[in-house]
């Protein structure tokens, strides 16, 4: 005596990806003009994620941004693996980013410069982040 239940949740729909078209942000001039799409939009998204402190702005989800401020004053031996983990975690929150690898670190006058490769649906992006120690 198992009751028959109508299956109203049939998957008769398609999941479509939203386009990546967004406003073009000129990083050097700090201006917005026109639109961008694809790989250029991804470069812009990576820049924005890595330059937004997580939990600091109410407008963003707690999943958006990166935690950097608590690394000030720490030793490079602590900063290297922690920065690698935090960058990977922050960027892979975006569904268009598949992975982050090829990390390289350099210390110069109280700063750590990390360069890495971001693998996206649109191609690979070389990126960097500078953090004060």
Structural domain count of the chain: 1
What mean pLDDT do residues 74-83 have? 90
For strand 111-120 and strand 31-36, is the pairing parallel, antiparallel, or unpaired?
unpaired
pLDDT band at 39 (very low <50, low <70, confident <90, very high): very high
Residue 103 has pLDDT above 80, yes or no: yes
* Res 21: pLDDT: 84
On whether residue 29 sits in a domain, the answer given is yes
* Res 1: pLDDT: 62
**CB count, 10 Å around CB of 127?**
19
Considering only CA atoms, which of 46, 21, 26 is closest in space to residue 36?
A: 21
On whether residue 100 sits in a domain, the answer given is yes
Residue 106 has pLDDT above 70, yes or no: yes
On whether residue 123 sits in a domain, the answer given is yes
On whether residue 11 sits in a domain, the answer given is no
Residues whose CB is less than 8 angstroms from the CB of residue 45 and which lie 6 or more positions away in sequence, other chains included: 22, 94, 96
Check which CATH number belongs to the domain holding 78 and give it. 3.10.450.40
Contact 129, 79 (CB under 8 A): no
| Residues of the domain holding 55 | 22-132
Residue 3 has pLDDT above 90, yes or no: no
On whether residue 2 sits in a domain, the answer given is no
């Amino acid at each position: 005596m198992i009751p028959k239940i109508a299956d109203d949740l049939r998957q008769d729909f398609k999941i479509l990806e939203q386009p990546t078209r967004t406003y073009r942000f000129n990083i050097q001039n700090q201006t917005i003009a026109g639109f961008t799409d694809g790989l250029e939009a991804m470069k812009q998204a990576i820049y924005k994620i890595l330059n937004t402190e997580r939990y600091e702005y109410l407008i963003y989800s707690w999943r958006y941004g990166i935690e950097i401020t608590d690394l000030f004053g720490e030793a490079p031996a602590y900063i290297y693996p922690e920065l690698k983990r935090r960058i990977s975690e922050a960027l892979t929150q975006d569904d268009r980013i598949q992975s982050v690898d090829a990390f390289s670190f350099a210390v110069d006058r109280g700063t750590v410069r990390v360069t890495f490769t971001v693998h996206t649906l649109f191609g690979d992006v070389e990126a960097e982040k500078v953090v004060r120690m």
